[in-house]
Structure 1
């Protein structure tokens, strides 16, 4: 079995391009419909940006939801970018986080958005270190991710790789991607060490359980 790694994440998503696109566009993910999709749209629009980049844009739904903002979408999985371009609504490009951090985008924006797209280790740490270089003066990085207090489950509350799961999804999915768990403390420290001033943290709540579904971090370029 391959070790859990950033490389295995990309490999898994490449295999699951079609079922993921169907799940998103078919409204099959309850937490997204009820809470998290609108939560990230609200967080972005709250900054009143003119320009932005969706990092790990997937099949492109968020850029289409942010009409009126000049957006670029990047993803390391060519199949997902193909799906996004086919649907239209934005400027979608195949680009790894490493390439983005190395300046390949050759642009700066008002907001950089990572919506449930920061699930690796080294690639995520490198991207956050590079984030200030992607932002205009006063610009912000907006990250939505699983809330660590719930996502931890029964495992110890400490940073580390976790096995992935497609539980609750259709049988079309295969080979679930691993993900790197970070505590709230680690997320906050990662923003600070990357030259970002954490100005807001939101915890969107599930309407039925009253528990946080996700956490949204908003960090401004220092």
Structure 2
């Protein structure tokens, strides 16, 4: 991965997900991403520390998180993603969650979400610099249940916003390079403020050697 200042090509970012859907599904379900074993566990632990009966996963991909959380009677689980192939795979693998294909610009108009509120709304590596990120986070904050929280897991950034590109060279299969935006801590604070929220807690997730793998942030109104 390389990083340099610039603006994210949103069209290319979304197109890369469509192109990489099958390879991504295989990589996640075959546990081909070693770092995800740590970041996934950190996310699940954070979710479990607050009682909840409802959770919305925005940018849910092939649905791994909701499968991990499924099986509890009375718990309402929902996932949304802009990539139709990933949503189809998620829905085919789980019966006790609802999945909807919608992009971030369409969240506010999505009939399946009208009038809904959630104890947790999660963005797991799903806010990477698109112009719609502010609106998506604002939507999430507006659809929290009382005492609910938005939970963001993202890649660590540098001292300033920069554009990077994931080539997936370390993974088997054929991949299309994926551009994305890295945000600095100050950029995240500005994004949350613009969306009407604030960072309530921020934790760096590291591997056994102390290398930072992700940042977990709890966001509230």
TM-score normalised according to structure 2 size: 0.88
Distance 2:16 2:45 in 1: 30
For the pair 1:74 / 2:75, whether they are aligned, the reply is: no
- The runs of 4+ residues in structure 1 deviating greater than 6 Å are none
Structure-2 residue corresponding to 1:5: 9
What does residue 32 of structure 1 align with? Answer: 36
Q: Quote the offset at 1:17 in angstroms.
A: 0.8
Bigger drift between 99-108 and 8-17 goes to: 99-108
Deviation (angstroms), 1:36 = 0.4
Q: Note the C-alpha offset of 1:100.
A: 1.0
Superposed displacement of residue 4, structure 1? 4.5
Map Cα deviations across residues 182-205 of structure 1 (whole Å, 9 max, x no partner): 101111222133222321111111
Shift of 1:102: 4.1
Which of 99, 103, 115 is the aligned partner of 1:96?
103
Q: Count how many residue pairs are aligned between Structure 1 and Structure 2.
A: 209
Report the Cα distance in structure 2 between the residues aligned to 1:4 and 1:130, rounded to whole angstroms: 21
How far the C-alpha of 1:31 sits from its partner, in A, is: 0.3
Offset of 1:5 from its aligned partner? 1.4
Instruction: Write the deviation string for residues 67-126 of structure 1: whole angstroms up to 9, x where unpaired.
Output: 233210000000000100111142111011111144541111111100011113202122
Which residue in 1 is equivalent to 2:4?
Answer: none
What is residue 192 of structure 1 aligned with on the other side? 193
Match in the other structure for 2:3: none
1:25 Cα offset (Å): 0.4
Q: Distance in 1 between matches of 2:93 and 2:214?
A: 27
Task: Report 1:140-219 matches (<5 A).
Answer: 140-149=149-158, 157-173=159-175, 175-207=176-208, 209-219=209-219
CA distance in 2, matches of 1:158, 1:203: 17
- Contact 2:154–2:216 (Cα < 8 Å) also in 1: yes
Q: Which residue of 2 aligns with 1:49?
A: 52
Q: Which runs of 5+ in 2 are unaligned?
A: 1-6
Residues 131, 194 of structure 1: 8 Å contact kept? no
